[in-house]
């Protein structure tokens, strides 16, 4: 039954592999994962040939890191305005898009029009118009777009999909999903460009697109109607004042007020962050360490979403960005039982300047020193529960990052095990999966504005 449902939205993604010349656009934090992978001698089918970014300093830093790792010669760097020229001059076959979310569409469309395959970071984009441009360009060119929903590649998430496809809980009738971002990682979205809804789409787009993609993928279904309630409840100037957390400073660097603020990120404490951001800000004024209790935050930090899927399953989802610890719980209630996944990513969050284990960790990285663990339990009707998984998480989004790279870039021994997936349906997410995940977030954003339930088809079609 579920197996039939899952095949309905099978995604066929052409893997952009086989001795291809790759460029990376957007050389911030996330790009490092791709730069490393594209220069890994264990991946002989791919070659890194160029960088493009609006900030020259950050490209230079990535080139320095590349050389320091013994990853080869520095690659040519191009300013944003010369993206098209770069594709031609460097004979680029495939592009990784790692820029600020609201700019993804520009590079995806230009790359497709130049005949390149595209691997884009999530979210695919931030609004319906931009999404339509991408879908039109893909249709016009027939090109390949892969959205890097790395959470799909986390083995415990793949196990959930496999069990649901095998009918472990019968027909899925409802899903409850709670995701908690802690006051270290969660706060990070409020320090920089993510806090501007125009640039990130808000957390319902920027962050929840991962979670909505997982639900779409797990169920093999699409959302139909969405209702949401939420707001800025913890961060922001008024909340900070109300709860007694606000200190008077604009950004942490150079501020005495920020020195003892547990919510402040001190770029100078980390050689990596200082090189990538502090010493690059003279070019574009990008402050990576803004006060999270500031006036100009336009995104939500606490949202509840209720969605109905086309085959009738109900989703109840809650995202909180100010939790003491990080983790999530998702449960599938079905006609034959319940499948429940609980993931704790840490015991509690430490302030960035605590000298603790999480100092300098990239957002989303797993703190191995803390008590991280995944527990997957299968409850059949009238039977004692069976523990399917009870083990520590892997690094890099539960091990998902490396498996995703193996799938997209090939060349490593583990690639075969992650290839098309145990259920034969594939892990790689295409432009349609990108649109489906975005649609739920956009419909939820619309519902936040109007206070009414929203039909997904009224917001975005694909």
Instruction: Output 100 or 274, the one with its CB closest to ligand NAD.
Output: 100
Total residues interacting with ligand NAD, rule: CB under 6 A: 24
Instruction: Output 272 or 412, the one with its CB closest to ligand NAD.
Output: 272
DSSP letter at 76 equals: P
Site for ligand NAD in 382-421 (CB under 6 A): 397
Paired with 320 in beta bridges are 180, 302
Smallest separation (angstroms) from ligand NAD to the CB of 191? 11
Q: How far is CA 84 from the centre of its chain?
A: 26
Listed ranges 5-13, 92-100, 382-390, 434-442: which one lies at the site for ligand NAD (CB under 6 A): 92-100
Smallest separation (angstroms) from ligand NAD to the CB of 361? 12
CA nearest neighbour of 111 among 137, 75, 89, 148 = 137
Q: Which of 27, 38, 163, 341 binds ligand NAD (CB under 6 A)?
A: 27
Q: Which of 55, 146, 154, 418 binds ligand NAD (CB under 6 A)?
A: 55
Site for ligand NAD in 230-289 (CB under 6 A): none
Q: Which two tokens stand for residue 256?
A: 């005495």
Q: Which of 60, 101, 182, 301 binds ligand NAD (CB under 6 A)?
A: 101
Smallest separation (angstroms) from ligand NAD to the CB of 104? 6
Smallest separation (angstroms) from ligand NAD to the CB of 281? 10
Listed ranges 6-14, 24-32, 39-47, 221-229: which one lies at the site for ligand NAD (CB under 6 A): 24-32
Q: Spell out the residues 6+ positions from residue 53 whose beta carbon is closer than 8 angstroms to its own.
A: 25, 26, 27, 59, 77, 79, 80, 99
Q: Does 346 bind ligand NAD (CB under 6 A)?
A: no
The per-residue b/e assignment along 212-243, b for 16 or more CB within 10 angstroms, e otherwise, is bbbbbbbbbbbbbbbbbebebbbbbbebbeee
Q: Which of 15, 43, 58, 287 binds ligand NAD (CB under 6 A)?
A: 58
Q: Residue 310, preceding bond cis, omega within 30 degrees?
A: no
Paired with 20 in beta bridges are 46
What gap in Å lies between CA 407 and CA 387, rounded to an integer? Answer: 28
Q: Does 364 bind ligand NAD (CB under 6 A)?
A: yes
Instruction: Output 339 or 404, the one with its CB closest to ligand NAD.
Output: 404
Smallest separation (angstroms) from ligand NAD to the CB of 209? 9
Q: Does 211 bind ligand NAD (CB under 6 A)?
A: no
Nearest residue to the partner ligand NAD, using Cβ:
28
Smallest separation (angstroms) from ligand NAD to the CB of 130? 13
Cβ–Cβ under 8 Å, residues 29 and 265 = no
Q: Does 148 bind ligand NAD (CB under 6 A)?
A: yes
Listed ranges 34-42, 97-105, 153-161, 171-179: which one lies at the site for ligand NAD (CB under 6 A): 97-105
Query: What are residue 419's phi and psi, to 5 degrees?
Result: -35, -115
Q: Which of 2, 39, 103, 346 binds ligand NAD (CB under 6 A)?
A: 103
Listed ranges 38-46, 49-57, 251-259, 294-302: which one lies at the site for ligand NAD (CB under 6 A): 49-57
Instruction: Output 193 or 322, the one with its CB closest to ligand NAD.
Output: 193
Q: Spell out the residues 6+ positions from residue 143 whose beta carbon is closer than 8 angstroms to its own.
A: 111, 112, 115, 116, 117, 118, 137
Q: Which of 93, 121, 300, 430 binds ligand NAD (CB under 6 A)?
A: 121
Q: Which of 99, 154, 291, 323 binds ligand NAD (CB under 6 A)?
A: 99
Smallest separation (angstroms) from ligand NAD to the CB of 308? 27
What gap in Å lies between CA 116 and CA 199, rounded to an integer? Answer: 25
Smallest separation (angstroms) from ligand NAD to the CB of 100? 4
Q: Which of 21, 29, 56, 82 binds ligand NAD (CB under 6 A)?
A: 29
Cβ–Cβ under 8 Å, residues 79 and 58 = no
What gap in Å lies between CA 323 and CA 182, rounded to an integer? Answer: 4
The alpha carbon dihedral of 420, 423, 425, 427 has a sign of negative
> Is 25 exposed, middle or buried, given 0-12, 13-18 or 19+ CB atoms closer than 10 A?
buried
Query: What are residue 102's phi and psi, to 5 degrees?
Result: -70, -5
Q: Which of 21, 76, 100, 247 binds ligand NAD (CB under 6 A)?
A: 100
Q: Which two tokens stand for residue 238?
A: 């008024």
Instruction: Output 111 or 331, the one with its CB closest to ligand NAD.
Output: 111
Q: Which two tokens stand for residue 164?
A: 């649901």
Q: Which two tokens stand for residue 249?
A: 């400073």
Smallest separation (angstroms) from ligand NAD to the CB of 99? 4
Please give the order of strands across the beta sheet that includes 302-309: 386-391, 373-380, 337-344, 327-334, 172-182, 314-323, 302-309, 223-231, 454-455
Q: Which of 17, 24, 53, 376 binds ligand NAD (CB under 6 A)?
A: 53
Residues found near ligand NAD in the complex (CB under 6 A): 25-31, 53-55, 58, 80, 98-101, 103, 121-122, 148, 150, 206, 364, 397
């Amino acid at each position: 039954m579920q197996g039939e449902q899952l095949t309905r939205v099978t995604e066929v993604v052409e893997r952009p592999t086989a001795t291809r010349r790759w460029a990376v656009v957007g050389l911030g934090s996330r790009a490092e994962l791709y730069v490393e992978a594209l220069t890994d001698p264990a991946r002989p089918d791919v070659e890194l040939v160029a960088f493009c970014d609006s900030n020259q300093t950050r490209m230079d830093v990535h080139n320095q890191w590349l050389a320091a790792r013994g990853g080869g010669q520095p690659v040519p760097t191009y300013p944003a305005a010369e993206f098209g020229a770069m594709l031609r001059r460097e004979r680029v076959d495939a592009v990784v898009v790692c820029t600020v979310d609201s700019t993804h569409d520009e590079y995806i469309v230009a790359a497709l029009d130049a005949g390149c395959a595209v691997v884009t970071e999530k979210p695919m984009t931030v609004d319906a118009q931009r999404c339509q441009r991408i879908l039109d360009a893909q249709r016009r060119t027939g090109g390949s777009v892969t959205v890097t929903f790395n959470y799909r590649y986390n083995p415990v998430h793949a196990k959930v999909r496999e069990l649901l496809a095998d009918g472990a809980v019968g027909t899925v009738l409802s899903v409850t999903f709670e995701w908690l971002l802690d006051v270290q990682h969660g706060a990070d979205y409020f320090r920089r460009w993510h806090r501007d809804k125009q640039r990130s789409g808000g957390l319902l787009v920027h962050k929840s697109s991962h979670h909505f993609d997982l639900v779409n993928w797990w169920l093999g279904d699409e959302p139909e109607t969405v209702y949401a309630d939420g707001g800025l409840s913890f961060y922001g100037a008024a909340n900070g004042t109300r709860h007694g957390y606000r200190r008077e400073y604009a950004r942490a660097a150079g501020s005495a007020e920020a020195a003892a603020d547990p919510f402040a990120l001190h770029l100078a404490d980390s050689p990596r962050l200082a090189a990538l951001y502090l010493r690059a800000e003279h070019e574009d004024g990008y402050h990576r360490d803004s006060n999270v209790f500031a006036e100009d935050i336009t995104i939500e930090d606490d949202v509840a979403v209720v969605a109905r899927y086309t085959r009738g399953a109900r989703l109840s989802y809650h995202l909180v960005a100010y939790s003491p610890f990080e983790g999530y719980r998702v449960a599938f209630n079905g006609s034959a039982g319940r499948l429940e996944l609980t993931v704790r990513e840490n015991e509690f969050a430490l302030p960035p300047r605590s000298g603790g284990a999480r100092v300098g960790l990239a957002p989303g990285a797993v703190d191995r020193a803390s008590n991280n663990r995944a527990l997957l339990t299968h409850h059949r009707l009238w039977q004692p529960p069976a523990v399917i998984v009870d083990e520590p998480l892997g690094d890099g989004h539960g091990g998902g990052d490396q498996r995703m790279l193996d799938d997209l870039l090939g060349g490593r021994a583990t690639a075969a095990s992650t290839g098309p997936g145990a259920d034969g349906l594939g892990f790689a997410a295409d432009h349609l999966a990108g649109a489906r995940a975005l649609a739920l977030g956009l419909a939820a954003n619309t519902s936040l504005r109007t206070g009414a339930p929203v039909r997904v088809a009224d917001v975005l079609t694909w």
